[in-house]
Structures are given as structure tokens and as C-alpha cells.
Amino acid sequence: MRLTEVLKKKKKRLLSIDFGQAFTKIAYIELTPEGIVVLDYSLKKINLSEKDWPAVTGYINNFLKANSIPEKEAHLTISDFDSVYIKHLLLPAVRREEILEAIKWQIKPELPFNFEGSIVDWQVVKEYADEEGAKNITVMCAFANPEIINKYLSAVRECNLAPVRISSAPFNYACILSRLKNIPSTIAVLDIGHNNATVSIYCNNKLNFMRNLAFSSDKLTRSLTSTLMSDKGKIELSYEQAEELKIDFGIPADESGILKDNIRAIHVVSLMRPVLEGLTRETRRSFDYFTSTFKERSPSFLYVTGGGANLKNVEQYLARELNLNVSKLPLPDCINTQKIDKERLSRDEAQMASLLGAVLAGPEEINLLPQEIKTQKIEFVQKVSLRVVTIALAAIFLFLLFIFNFQLHDYKKRLRTARIHLETIANIRDIKQKIGVKAGLIKTIQKDRIPAGALLKLLSTIIGQNIVLDDLSLDQGSHTLILKGSVSVNEGTAEAVLADFIKRIKASTFFTQASLIASQNTGGIQEFEIKCDLSH
């Protein structure tokens, strides 16, 4: 199995924590090639304006224990705009390394805290030329008070977590929008929180403008605590009763209807109207300012998010008053929520967009993590990278060493085999030389010799059936052959048999002459001796 396949099996998991003025949210997330999987999440109302940090750390620790989370990496979102200041700036086109200095001189007078020592990050969202041809850039900047940021970091570290990114909700929404399909190029997001509301405008999924509005879900609830008219006369609702009425009925669509406790819808609308009209008025002014200042089109679509997005009929009200298409900000397909209960998700989804969008941010997005922590992280990554490279090089070296040893062993084995073959070939060569010597010797010996085998084979073909050879004497030197034998017939017939035998000998090419040198009859058997001269 390859190393990459082993690493792929272990999917990365991390935490996303969103600190708001009224709510703290946390999600346990698993990264996948397709996007992210939400393993679990939690929302809790914690008033950070009262600096209740023990409640925050206790809440985070309880979530970690409940899910048995060993991971330490955390993405932080600070949605408290008293802590993070976001501003769009129009600057002359300068070199990238000079942009920060240009930002400093333009923002310093209006920054609510000291610029020196503050945490700053920025991104260029547009480059253009003005009417005179001068090149300019639009920059979105985020500034954070280091003292406040360190308090958030201390709370997270107290939970043994390691923050890797700090962002803010408007930038997180850009990460959500960039993964939605078939949306207009210019779009607005209205974030209605418990204590505040913001409207952000995005061009090509980049934040171009953000403004705080004098509206909140809490203000709408408090508007209902004024005197209401009912069939029973004037009544005054407590904050809790007003909140319940708002949750149950939202913005009444039918002003002639009766709500609960004989409260008329028209009276509820009349109390809500000043606050709602302030919302639509400020939103419309924000759009007008954006189009006149940035020379861009006004947004043609408005997404609503945050806890206030759950207000019944808020989409219809805003669509009617602003003459826009309005809907809740959805979660893109790359965010898998199948492990979450559908009913629970339906209730909380509007408050999770920023929390989940933070994890989708790329390296080019805004990061308000203090520089010293970034440096530590870079050094850590460099150390880890160096360690990984060292291990990889060591592994490669060991592998090459193994291959070298294997090849060396193979070459030694081949060398031994070659030596054996060489020795065998040498032995064969020696044997061949010896055989050659012997063959030459035999050839020398056999030179000018009469082939005895061929001679015997010839005699066997010409000898008569009554003739028996008893002795053959071959003299190689004189080239003579003496044949001694007998003929088992009577004496008169024996002479004819011998004459015929001698005739056959003479007819052979082996012999030049054949003569009978002795013949006598002994006991009825004719014995003879014939001398033959050989031609070879």
C-alpha cells in the first residue's frame, strides 16, 4: 500500500468556534475531498459583553468531552464588531508591500483603537482606473484590537486548543457564496443577530462593502414590550412574553387577524413598524451608497442569515419593501449535514452559515491571527516539513541501499555462477584438447593401416557355406593376409570350392592377389592355407 493511500485513510478533523455578542457556537467538522462533514454542533447564549469567560471555556470543554474530541486545531470567528473593525478603502494603486502603509494613513483617524500594534489583514477586491485614467484599488480591511483578541485566544488555549485562523462573519459568508450555484454576480447578505445587524455586499463572491445597521432581533422584541391594545384593553408584555409572541407569529402578514390573548395583529405591526422601517431604510441607503461610491450595480438578490432569519414572514416583508428577491442563506452542497438531526438543523441552520463558512476559507482569505502565532505556525510547519523531508530522504536512502544490496547479492550470485561456468568451460576445453591429441594419435596410428573391420565384413560376404576359417593372420607391414581353414566336403569337391573362394577373393578391390599355398586331406576334412596380398 502506498504512503498516500495510508494518509488518505485518516481524515482530518477540526473545530470551528464562533464568538458573538450574545451566542457562542461550536462545530466539530471533518474535512473531505468534496468539502466538509458536520459531525456535531452546539449553540449557547453567552453574553460576552459581560466578559463571562469561565462560561465560555466551560461550554467548550463540555462539548469536547461530550464528543470525545482529541483534535486541537480550531478556526475562530469573532462576530463582535466592537472587537473587529471592517472597512472598505479606496487607495491609489501601489506596490503590494506599500499597501499596508497606505491603509494606515487613511484609516488611522477613524479607527476606534490605536492602529499601532493592532492586528491588520486586507485583500484587494478590485482594480480600476478613474475618469482621469489614474489606477486605483478597492481594499477590504479587517482590524482587531490585540488586547481583546488575546482574551479570545486565552480562552481557547485554556481548553487546550490551537487556533489556526481568526476571521469575521462577513468574510465567512463569502466562502459560502463562492460555493453556491447560479447566483448573481452582485449579491447582499443581511445578518440579523441578537444584538446587532450587518448588511454586506459581494461582487463575484468577494466582500466589497459592509455596514453595521441600527437593528437587531433584540430591538424588535423590545418594541413589543410597549403598550398593546386588545379586547381586554391596554396590556403590556414582559420581555419573555414579547419574545414568545415574536417567535410564534413573526411579522403578521394579515394585519386584520387576531393573535393570541386577543392581541390584534395590526397593533403588533404598528409597534414593529418603526424598527422594521429603520431596517429597510438603512439597507436601502447602504445599497445607494455602494452603487454611487463604487460605481457598481445594486444587489439584485438579498440573503438573510443569523438568528433573525428565522423570524416568520421576514423574507416576504423585505422582498416587498426593498423590491428584491429575498431568501434565507442556504448551505452549499459541499457541506454535508446528514449526521445532524433534520429538525434540529432546520431550527439552527440560519445561525450556522458563518460557523461553517470559516472552515471553507482558503489561504488567501482574511486571517487575524497575531503575527507571532502565524510565525510559530510557519516555523512548526517548516520543522514538520523538514522532519517529513528528512524521513522521506532516509526512507529513500534505505530503499536505495536495500536495492543496492539486493543487486550486489544478485551480482555476486551471478559471478559465482559465471565462475562455475568458466571452470566447466575450461575443463571441457582441456578434455577437448586431450581428445584432439588422442584423435590425432589414433589418426596417426591408423594412417596407412588396413581397416580390419571392413576386411572381416568382406570375408563374411564372399566365404562359401562349406568353408570354415580357423585362423586369420594379418601383417600390416607386408600387407598380407593368411587364411587357414577347412572345407567339409569330399576331396574332389573341395578343390572346386577352394578355387571358387580364391576367385571371389581376387575379384575384391581389397586384394591384388590370392594363392593356395597348402592343402591336405585329414580324416576326410580338406584343410587349406591361402595367402592374400592386400591392395592397401
Structure confidence at residue 10 as a pLDDT band (50, 70, 90): low
Q: Which domain holds residue 149?
A: 12-83+145-171+332-363
Q: Is residue 336 part of a domain?
A: yes
Where is pLDDT greater, at 311 or 422?
311
pLDDT tens digit string along 23-81?
Answer: 999 999 999 999 999 999 999 998 776 678 899 999 999 999 999 999 999 999 998 77
Residues 358 and 457 grouped into a single domain: no
Percent of the chain with pLDDT over 90: 45
Q: Is 301 exposed, middle or buried (0-12, 13-18, 19+ CB in 10 A)?
A: middle
138-147 per-position pLDDT tens digit: 899 999 988 8
CATH number for the domain spanning 466: value is 3.30.1360.100
Amino acid at position 183, single letter? I
Q: What three-state secondary structure class fits 502?
A: helix
Report yes or no: 116 and 272 within 8 Å, Cβ to Cβ: no
Q: Which three cell numbers stand for residue 352?
A: 450556522
Do 493 and 357 belong to one domain? no
pTM over 0.95, yes/no: no
- Of 317, 340, 363, which closes a domain? 363
Residue 6: is its pLDDT beyond 60?
no
State the chain's mean pLDDT as an integer: 86
CATH number at residue 44: 3.30.420.40
Rounded CA-CA distance 269/257 in Å is 11
Q: How many domains does the chain have?
A: 2
Residue 344 belongs to some domain of the structure: yes
> Alpha carbon 184 to chain centroid distance?
32
Give burial (CB, 10 Å; 0-12/13-18/19+) of 73: middle
Domain annotation covers residue 26: yes
What does the DSSP 8-state code read for residue 200?
E
Per-residue pLDDT reduced to its tens digit, 71-129: 999 999 998 777 888 988 888 888 888 888 888 888 877 777 777 778 999 999 888 88
- pLDDT > 80? residue 451: no
